[in-house]
Structure 1
Amino acid sequence: MVRAVGDSESEQKVIDDIANFGWHCVNIHPEGEHVGYAFTVGLFQTYGHPELIIFGLSAKVAHQILAIAADAARSGAPVDLTQPTDALINDYLCCFVEVPPSQYYEHVGYCTWYYQGNGFPLYQVVWPSRDGMYPWDQHATPGFRAAQPVIAAVPGGT
């Protein structure tokens, strides 16, 4: 697989982290109305595991959750992305939805740079509210939905 050369300090950090740790975590926390999020770069190349993106959590918590998934992939027992799991957040079932490539450019620019295109799978980690709701649930609050936009087709097509 051909990958980009690090032309800037931040690009070189991505390359170095992937070489040293197998993956890199990018945290995006914009000002204003946009929701913060984090995503992986390198999981697909290093472990054959889809890249992951998660919205609406602090940089620290998002990194911890993505690190759990990366550690599972490294150990050879990756998280099953077809089933809800509490392996990422104790006592809360996270779901995974496949993100279409049409969303890559807007959300995971470092991935498209690193892989030189959209030739990698990407899944969104969707976490529940404290009362077990997901953003697509009818009774989820507008605030919860706004904090965690779902950028993929939701389960059941709702």
Structure 2
Amino acid sequence: MQDHEIARTASYDHLSELIQRYGWAVKGVVDQGTPWYYTIGLSRRNHPELVVVGLSPEEAASLLNQLALAARGGVNVLDTTALAAAWGHPKVFLQLRQVDPTWSDTNLFNTVRSYLGAVPPAYQVVLADIEGHFPWDEGHSLGFEQRVLWEPWPEGWPGLAEGENR
């Protein structure tokens, strides 16, 4: 299966079509500074939704679609060793961190909230550099920002859902 497109609009018909065809869709948010992309629909199949930050649209779609395909094939997406084995990688270059619930109240999850009725549990896919260093490791040199979504939404940042106060 080829990587399917990223849903560039919040069109429910378009999202429904992608989710019906593949079991999920990938949505991009590029107007909040660092781009980030997330799945919509995996939670309907008893998997968490997945988020990746800082990649290009093509890289994000490829990564999230590979993870979603592995999940659809029976791999537990929370088991990064199993994911690496499913891809044939000898080393794990990603970790999954649960997105802090405070991010669910932000505009960044508007589409998933609107489409699914709520923001289900989501995990951020955190990438290591070629040497296996993660952003919190000394010597990390991936070269792009991976916003930390597993920590609470920073007080005073813009992006709260309409009517929300924090």
TM-score normalised according to structure 1 size: 0.75
Which deviates more, 59-68 or 126-135? 126-135
Give the 5 Å matches for 1:9-158.
Answer: 10-30=11-31, 34-45=33-44, 47-79=45-77, 81-83=78-80, 86=84, 90=89, 91-106=91-106, 107-118=108-119, 120-140=120-140, 144=143, 147-153=145-151
Q: Mind listing any 5+ residue stretches in structure 2 that lack a counterpart?
A: 1-8, 152-166
- Secondary structure of 2:55's partner? coil
Amino acid at match of 2:34: V
Distance 2:65 2:55 in 1: 14
Q: What percentage of aligned pairs have identical amino acids?
A: 27
- Secondary structure of 1:108's partner? helix
Q: Mind listing any 5+ residue stretches in structure 1 that lack a counterpart?
A: 1-7, 154-158
RMSD over aligned CA atoms reads 2.5
Distance 1:89 1:104 in 2: 33
- Deviant stretches of 4+, over 6 Å: none
Distance 1:149 1:56 in 2: 8
Distance 2:17 2:10 in 1: 10
Which deviates more, 19-28 or 50-59? 19-28
Distance 1:89 1:29 in 2: 31
Residues 88-118 of structure 1 deviation map (CA, whole Å, 9 limit, x = unaligned)? 6945520000012210233322111122123
The CA deviation at 1:149 is: 1.2
Distance 1:131 1:58 in 2: 21
Residues 83 and 96 in structure 1, CA contact (< 8 A), matched pair in contact too: yes
